[in-house]
Amino acid sequence: MNNVYYGKLVFELSKPGRVGYSLPKSEISGYSLNELPEALQRQGKTILPECDELTVVRHYTNMSNNNFGVDTGFYPLGSCTMKYNPKINEELCALPAFNRHPSTPVEFVQGSLKVYDEVQKTLSEISGLSRFTLNPYAGAHGELTGLMVIKSYHQQRGDNARTKIIVPNSAHGTNPASAAVAGFKVVEVKSLADGTVDVEDLKPLLGPDVAGMMMTNPNTLGIFERNIPEIARLVHDCGGLMYYDGANLNPMLGVCRPGDMGFDVMHINLHKTFSTPHGGGGPGSGPVGVRKGLEHLLPNPQVEKLADGSYTLQCGKNSLGSISTFLSNFTVIIRAYAYLLSLGKENVPMAGKLSVLNANYIKECLRSHYELPIEGLCKHEFVFDGLRPEFGGDHHDDSHVTTLDVAKRLLDYGFHAPTIYFPLLFHEALMIEPTETESKDTLDDFIAVMKRIAEEARDDREMVKTAPHHTPIRRLDDVKAVREPKFTFKNL
Ligand SMILES: *Cc1c(COP(=O)(O)O)cnc(C)c1O
């Protein structure tokens, strides 16, 4: 594995004068690549690698072989839904008919607008909300858009006193961040021991300065918020709106609808729940839905179906404005459409139920070895609080085996680590979300490895604490990386 290409930047493979092309000499004198007019020639040093084609091919192929993704192995990352993304989605979104210049007149992209409109309407049906926009680029962007809807709603009523957004302390980090970016003051509400919102802590926070409350349900611990009708009533009674973080809608699909629970505004991550490969900053889509009476606030442009069955783009004058270019990351929308149609209305609820079954199966099989802080049925994901004390996980002991150690050791066995140290409610959070697309064989394999790691931690603590041992790069010094960051390549 450690060949000449391994672990090098393409710049380190560069040799002066080496090229990956050959061009015939131009027949027009003065215009060959080698004879550019003086005034057009670059004066400074060019910072580009000089490599032959085969070196470039090997460089990228070796890099891609070091990648870990859902297509290479099990990826049980909590709060992220790394489900399998069927390849038919890729084929469909690569169809030439969908690859149009964004300024193409609407009469030539009627099919694309139909896809947009149907995804919009399907999401409304799934979530119980009146209307969606598919314009936001990602979950966090959807949150910002949704919060702008809430802000516009209050402003258009002439109520400018609502400056606060309430966010549970178990929330995904993007929630308080989006509220702050939208210009709100973030007020934290505590969780009870079972991870759900503490209604008694919420009550005194409510008043005429509250614009709304953001919630994730099931919350980031995978627990369904049973008090949601009461919470929604309290927030509505004080004049605020309820925001639903639907980034991980998996367990809800076809089972339960945010609109029916009293939520007014929500976002969905198409790239998590509706199968687009994601992570690493790739394209996403964070559609925002609103209840009846808030539709006019959604961002422009909006896709409308006309009475004659054709589609058009419209801009509403009371809309909060535009939040993206054209119709956003359209190929993610096509993938969601393909995924929804291939599952079909009858099978969508199976995705949610299976994801819940798989999570509970892993949880119950591993609780003998890992500390389970919250009892009872979880939804699509759950959180362990590190290893049990008898396996070296007692965090009062300074040399205990940590969640980080377990996560690193998992890499030796070829699994991606779960989400660690989130949510912040426990010392050693280890958050597992298997998704519905994994077979029982994979789940059993993962369970066996997790048990084995616990036994290793008990019997050979040092070995686990120095893992990984079989990955191309061993344990990194996180502290050094933070204290002495290097952002540039030394030879440039
Ligand atoms: C992933 C996630 C987000 C943010 O989505 P991005 O597309 O990464 O911006 C927000 N909330 C929750 C609960 C999430 O899991």
Backbone angles phi, psi at 120, to 5 degrees: -55, -50
In a domain, 176, yes or no: yes
Note whether 32 and 113 are same-domain residues: no
Note whether 326 and 409 are same-domain residues: no
Nearest CA to ligand 1 atom 12: 247
Note whether 205 and 160 are same-domain residues: yes
Q: Could you give the CA distance from residue 219 to residue 41 in angstroms, rounded to a whole number?
A: 59
Q: How remote is the CA of residue 173 from the centroid of ligand 1, in Å?
A: 8
Looking at residue 402, which CATH number applies to its domain?
3.90.1150.10
The model's confidence at residue 2, banded by pLDDT at 50, 70 and 90, is low
Q: What angle do CA 229, 234, 238 make, to 5 degrees?
A: 145
Reply yes or no: is the peptide bond before residue 472 cis, omega within 30 of 0. Answer: no
Using an 8 Å Cβ cutoff, are 239 and 208 in contact?
A: yes
Tokens of 99: 């690859």
Note whether 372 and 258 are same-domain residues: no
In a domain, 488, yes or no: no
Backbone angles phi, psi at 49, to 5 degrees: -70, 145
Note whether 284 and 377 are same-domain residues: no
Using an 8 Å Cβ cutoff, are 466 and 413 in contact?
A: no
- pLDDT reported for residue 32: 61
Q: Which residues pair with 267 in a beta bridge?
A: 245, 288
Looking at residue 220, which CATH number applies to its domain?
3.40.640.10
Note whether 21 and 50 are same-domain residues: yes
For residue 77, give the nearest of 253, 280, 214 by alpha carbon.
Answer: 280
**Domains of the chain: total:** 3
Note whether 145 and 267 are same-domain residues: yes
In a domain, 73, yes or no: no
Note whether 43 and 176 are same-domain residues: no
Using an 8 Å Cβ cutoff, are 244 and 215 in contact?
A: yes
The binding-site residues of ligand 1, defined as CB within 6 angstroms of any ligand atom, are 79-80, 138-140, 172, 174, 216, 245, 247-248, 269, 284, 286
Q: Taking 70 as the threshold, does the pLDDT of residue 70 lie above it?
A: yes
Using an 8 Å Cβ cutoff, are 195 and 374 in contact?
A: yes
Note whether 49 and 98 are same-domain residues: no
The model's confidence at residue 347, banded by pLDDT at 50, 70 and 90, is very high
In a domain, 75, yes or no: no
The model's confidence at residue 26, banded by pLDDT at 50, 70 and 90, is confident
If DSSP codes are grouped into helix, strand and coil, which group holds residue 265? Answer: strand
Using an 8 Å Cβ cutoff, are 193 and 170 in contact?
A: no
In a domain, 78, yes or no: no
**Among 269, 381, 422, which residue has the most ligand 1 atoms within 8 Å of its CB, making it the best to mutate?**
269
Q: Out of 317, 342, 367, pick the residue that ends a domain.
A: 342
Q: What pTM, to 2 d.p., does this model score? A: 0.89
Q: Which amino acid makes up residue 15?
A: K
Q: Out of 316, 342, 368, pick the residue that ends a domain.
A: 342
DSSP for 157-168, please give it: TT-----EEEEE
Note whether 256 and 367 are same-domain residues: no
Tokens of 392: 């070296």
Distances (CA, A) of 126 to 256, 339, 349, 380: 8, 14, 10, 17
Per residue in 272-309, pLDDT (tens digit) is: 999 888 877 678 999 999 999 999 999 999 999 999 99
Burial of 464-475, coded b for 16+ CB within 10 Å and e otherwise, reads: bbebbeeeeeee
Note whether 299 and 195 are same-domain residues: yes
Note whether 15 and 155 are same-domain residues: no
In a domain, 3, yes or no: no
In a domain, 434, yes or no: yes
- Mean of per-residue pLDDT scores for the chain: 93
Q: Which domain holds residue 49?
A: 10-66
Q: Out of 307, 342, 377, pick the residue that ends a domain.
A: 342
Nearest CA to ligand 1 atom 5: 139
In a domain, 157, yes or no: yes
Q: How remote is the CA of residue 362 from the centroid of ligand 1, in Å?
A: 23
